C-alpha cells in the first residue's frame, strides 16, 4: 500500500481508504463487516472513512468495534457531520450545537478520543459559515479533531470558507470528499484547480460508480440478484441514473483495456481516479473481504497517457462533467 499527503498537510493517508457507507450496520452483518475491516488492515489500508448518518449512526459503532485493539496512532479515522441523526430540529446541519453534539456522539461510537479528519458532509445554507468554521476550529483546539474538511462543496463554497478561515485565523480546510469516477468528473473543471492552488486534497468516494464500473451490470438485462441496484434500502436509488443501456454498453467496452493491463475492472476504475494528482485517497467499500483485497491492488498502479485516452474514447459522451451537478440541499433535510 502506498501513501499520499492529505492535500498540503503533513498527514499521510493510504491511497486506498476503506469506507462503510451503506454496508456497515445495514447491508451486511457485523461479522462480515469486521472481516472486511481486517482484510483492509491486512492489505496495508490505514485510512477509514465513515459518517454519523451512515446506517443511522450504527456504521460508526460497527467500525469502532472492528478497529478495537488496533494501535490508534497507526490509523487515520475520518467521519462527517450534517445529515440528520435524530428527530429534533437541531439534530442536523452545521450549527455549533449540532457539530459539538455530533462529534461527541461520533467519538463515543468510534471508541476514540479524537478523529484525524472531521468533514462537513454538505454545505449548510441555514448556518453562517463563520459559525461552522469557528466550531470546527474549537474542536481542533480541544484535540477532538486534528484536521477539518468538507464533502461535496462547490468551488465557490470552498473558496468562501478559505477566505473566512484566513481572515479569522481558523484552521484551513485540507480536504474535500466528492464523488469521482471515470463516469462522474464534475470536480475537474472548478473544484480541482482551486484545490490544487489552495492545498486541498480530494478523498473521493464511489470510484467504481456504485459497482457499475465492475462491469457486472449488463445492458438490456436486469441487475444481478443481491446487487446494490436491487437493494432499495442500500443504495438502489443512487445507482439508478447509471443503469442506462448507453452507459452500461460503454462500460463493457472497458473490459479489453483492463485485460490488457492485467487488472480487474474494479482495479482499473480505482487506479483511474488515483492518476489525478489532486486525489489523496480513493474510498472503497465492500460487503466481502475479497472485494477489499481486489480493490487494494489498484494502489501504485500507473496508467499511461495512451490508456487514459482509450478510456476517454470508449466512454465518450456518457461522462458527466457539469460542475453544477455538485449541489447541497436548499434547506436542511
Residue 103 lies in a domain: yes
Rounded Cα distance between 270 and 141, Å, is 35
Residue 296 confidence (pLDDT): 95
Q: What is the pLDDT of residues 271-330, one digit of tens each?
A: 999 999 999 999 998 888 999 999 999 999 999 999 999 999 999 999 999 999 999 999
Residue 307 lies in a domain: no
Residue 27 lies in a domain: yes
Residue 224 lies in a domain: no
Residue 13 lies in a domain: yes
Whether the Cβ atoms of residue 176 and residue 200 lie closer than 8 Å to each other: yes
Residue 22 confidence (pLDDT): 66
Range of the domain at 98: 3-209+269-301
- Tell me which residue of 50, 58, 127, 54 sits closest to 96, measured CA to CA: 127
10-residue mean pLDDT series, the chain (333 residues): 97 96 65 92 97 92 95 98 96 98 98 98 97 98 98 98 97 97 97 98 96 89 64 58 87 97 97 98 92 95 97 96 95 93
Alpha-carbon 3 to chain mean position: 16
- Grid cell of 217 as nine digits: 451490470
Which residue in the block uniquely carries the three cell numbers 500507473? 302
Positions annotated as catalytic residues are: 54
Residue 177 confidence (pLDDT): 98
CATH at 132: 3.20.20.100
Q: What does pTM read for this prediction?
A: 0.92
b vs e for 196-210, b when ≥16 Cβ sit within 10 Å of the residue's Cβ?
A: bebebbbbbbbbbbb
* Residues 6+ positions from 163 with CB-CB distance below 8 Å: none
Residue 250 lies in a domain: no
Residue 214 lies in a domain: no
Q: Which residues pair with 77 in a beta bridge?
A: 48
Total of domains in the chain: 1
Residue 229 confidence (pLDDT): 53
Measured over all CA atoms, what is the biggest interatomic distance in the chain, rounded to whole angstroms? 56
Amino acid at each position: 500500500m502506498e501513501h499520499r499527503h492529505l492535500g498540503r498537510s503533513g498527514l499521510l493517508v493510504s491511497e486506498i481508504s476503506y469506507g462503510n457507507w451503506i454496508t456497515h450496520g445495514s447491508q451486511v452483518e457485523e461479522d462480515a463487516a469486521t472481516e472486511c475491516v481486517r482484510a483492509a488492515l491486512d492489505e496495508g489500508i490505514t485510512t477509514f472513512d465513515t459518517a454519523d448518518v451512515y446506517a443511522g449512526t450504527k456504521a460508526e459503532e460497527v467500525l469502532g468495534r472492528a478497529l478495537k485493539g488496533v494501535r490508534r496512532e497507526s490509523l487515520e479515522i475520518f467521519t462527517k457531520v450534517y445529515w440528520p441523526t435524530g428527530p429534533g430540529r437541531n439534530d442536523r446541519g452545521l450549527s455549533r450545537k449540532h457539530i459539538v453534539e455530533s462529534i461527541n456522539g461520533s467519538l463515543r461510537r468510534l471508541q476514540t478520543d479524537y478523529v484525524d479528519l472531521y468533514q462537513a458532509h454538505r454545505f449548510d445554507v441555514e448556518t453562517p459559515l463563520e459559525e461552522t468554521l469557528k466550531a470546527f476550529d474549537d474542536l481542533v483546539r480541544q484535540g477532538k479533531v486534528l484536521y477539518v474538511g468538507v464533502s461535496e462543496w462547490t468551488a465557490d463554497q470552498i473558496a468562501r470558507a478559505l477566505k473566512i478561515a484566513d481572515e479569522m485565523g481558523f484552521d484551513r480546510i485540507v480536504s474535500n470528499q466528492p464523488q469521482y469516477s471515470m463516469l462522474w468528473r464534475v470536480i475537474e473543471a472548478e473544484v480541482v484547480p482551486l484545490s490544487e492552488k489552495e492545498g486541498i486534497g480530494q478523498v473521493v468516494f464511489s470510484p467504481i460508480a456504485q459497482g457499475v464500473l465492475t462491469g457486472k451490470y449488463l445492458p438490456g438485462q436486469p441487475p444481478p440478484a443481491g446487487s446494490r441496484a436491487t437493494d432499495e434500502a442500500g443504495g438502489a436509488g443512487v445507482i439508478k441514473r447509471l443503469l442506462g443501456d448507453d452507459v452500461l454498453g460503454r462500460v463493457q467496452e472497458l473490459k479489453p483495456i483492463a485485460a490488457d493491463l492485467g487488472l480487474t475492472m474494479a482495479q482499473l476504475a480505482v487506479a483511474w481516479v488515483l492518476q489525478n494528482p489532486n486525489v489523496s485517497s480513493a474510498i472503497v467499500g465492500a460487503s466481502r473481504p475479497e472485494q477489499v483485497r481486489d480493490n487494494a491492488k489498484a494502489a501504485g498502479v500507473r496508467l499511461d497517457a495512451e490508456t487514459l485516452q482509450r478510456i476517454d474514447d470508449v466512454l465518450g459522451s456518457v461522462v458527466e462533467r457539469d460542475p453544477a451537478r455538485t449541489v447541497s440541499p436548499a434547506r436542511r433535510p
